[in-house]
Amino acid sequence: MDLLVVGSGFFGLTIAERAAAAGRKVTVIDRRHHIGGNAYSENEPTTGIEVHRYGAHLFHTSNEKVWEYVNRFTTFTSYVHRVYTNHSGVVYPLPVNLGTINQFFQAAYSPDQARALIREQAGEFDVRTAQNFEEKGIALVGRPLFEAFFRDYTAKQWQTDPHKLSGDIVSRLPVRYTYDNRYFNDTHEGLPTDGYTAWLERMADHPNIDVKLSVDFFDASQPLNRKALVGQLPIVYTGPVDRYFDYAEGALGWRTLDFEEEVLDVGDFQGTSVMNYPDADVPYTRIHEFKHFHPERAEVYPDDKTVVMREFSRFAERSDEPYYPVNTEDDRAGLLAYRELAKGEKDVFFGGRLGTYKYLDMHMAIGSALTMWQNELNG
């Protein structure tokens, strides 16, 4: 073994694939029973519908190098992501755009008229002096849009009273003054034609790559552990950076998600893949309906059943899966301290979402792994 990769998400698999192609013998371990990290998907057994196990994953990128790289392992469908939101029993398009605004105000404003109206409504507070999330949100988009589409949705994401949320959690709130409701602006967008897991497995499918699942790097009772291996060979570590150092500088804060999956005896539950629920009286933040991610599979998917997943959001405890960095001032100070400790770990390379405490889209995780391979490991 020339290289150990801890974690089989997109970051770890990209490193492993590049190293294997360069002739290195690589072992990849993951504490989960499957590869792929949070991008893992599997078919719901009774319907065959592909379910993204850790929440909906949409691939999009404007990075040509990453696009060329990922196309070695999978083709992509022509899926274009759009999201809708059910506020007070009426459905509106997202991100908030001219269609949302005109539907909400029952009007036919031009882009300039809508801009002037929102500017006037936003005048209630000043972004520079706003005292909390609520004042800052109103300063950005005005009270009516803020209360309908942003306030309670954000409070539900954080499970925190909107008055107690810090203004720091928003720097801007997206509003578009056209009818464009395409969710992503990237050059390339689509879903892997044969599903995420086929893509991830093809990345690992090389004679120089050995994948070992259900192996925890911190479990000293098995051979591939931290104590036995650090200092013996290069290690790419993509688990949580605070966990690596036994939380010596405190635990970094994360949000996690809970998912409730249900198979329903209807052909089509909501007519689209993602419906948000921004109101306080609904406990979940959104409902995913997975068959809509793959309209091209209509022939193979059942037309009398569907799979939906309700998503709930909250602060993570240590035993929860960490999903999104909370990034308070304390967290940022802790991260700096961990970065100093990481410098002292000879031949251990910290990468990925958990290893750098940074939200990374898939294309960013892949791009930063390609860069790490080129600049730090391919020597």
Neighbour tally for 205: CB within 10 Å: 12
Report the partner that residue 186 touches, choosing among ligand FAD, Na ion, none (CB closer than 5 to 8 A by kind): none
State yes or no: is 72 an active-site residue.
Answer: no
The contact set with ligand FAD (CB under 6 A) reads 6-12, 29-32, 37-39, 54-59, 216-218, 238-239, 257, 323, 352-354, 360-363, 365
Pairing of strands 348-350, 235-237: parallel
> Nearest CA to 257 among 158, 379, 172?
158
| Choice between 32 and 305, CB closer to ligand FAD | 32
**Partner that binds at residue 27, options ligand FAD, Na ion, none, CB closer than 5 to 8 Å by kind:** none
Q: By CB under 5 A, which span of 59-67, 78-86, 118-126, 268-276 interacts with Na ion?
A: 118-126
255 is catalytic: yes
Q: Is 176 one of the annotated active-site residues of the chain?
A: yes
Q: In sequence order, what DSSP letters do the residues of 227-295 get, joined into one string? A: HHHBTTB-EEE-S-HHHHTTTTT-PPPEEEEEEEEEEESSS-SSSSSEEE--STTSS-SEEEEGGGG-G
Contacts of 124 (CB under 8 A, 6+ apart): 138, 139, 142, 143
Which span sits near Na ion by CB under 5 A: 5-13, 139-147, 263-271, 339-347? Answer: 139-147
Residue 147 site contact among Na ion, ligand FAD, none (CB < 5 to 8 Å, cut-off depends on kind): none
Contact 306, 275 (CB under 8 A): no
* 24 noted as active-site residue: no
Q: What angle do CA 55, 58, 64 make, to 5 degrees?
A: 145
Give the nearer residue to ligand FAD in terms of CB position, either 136 or 291. Answer: 291
Beta strands 26-29 and 3-6, pairing class: parallel
**Distance (Å, whole) CA 125 – CA 131:** 9
Closest to 84 in 3D by CA, of 295, 264, 269: 269
Residue appearing with tokens 């065959």: 48
321 is catalytic: no
**Residue 361 among the catalytic residues:** yes
Closer CB to ligand FAD, 136 or 255, in the complex = 255
139 near Na ion, judged by CB under 5 A: yes
Of the two residues 128 and 343, which places its CB atom closer to Na ion in the complex?
128
Out of 29, 122, 204, 215, the residue judged to bind Na ion by CB under 5 A:
122
The interface partner of residue 6, options being Na ion, ligand FAD, none and the CB cut-off 5 to 8 Å by kind, is ligand FAD
Say which entry of ligand FAD, Na ion, none residue 358 contacts (CB below 5 to 8 A, set by partner kind).
none
Q: Which residues are catalytic?
A: 172, 176, 255, 286, 311, 359, 361
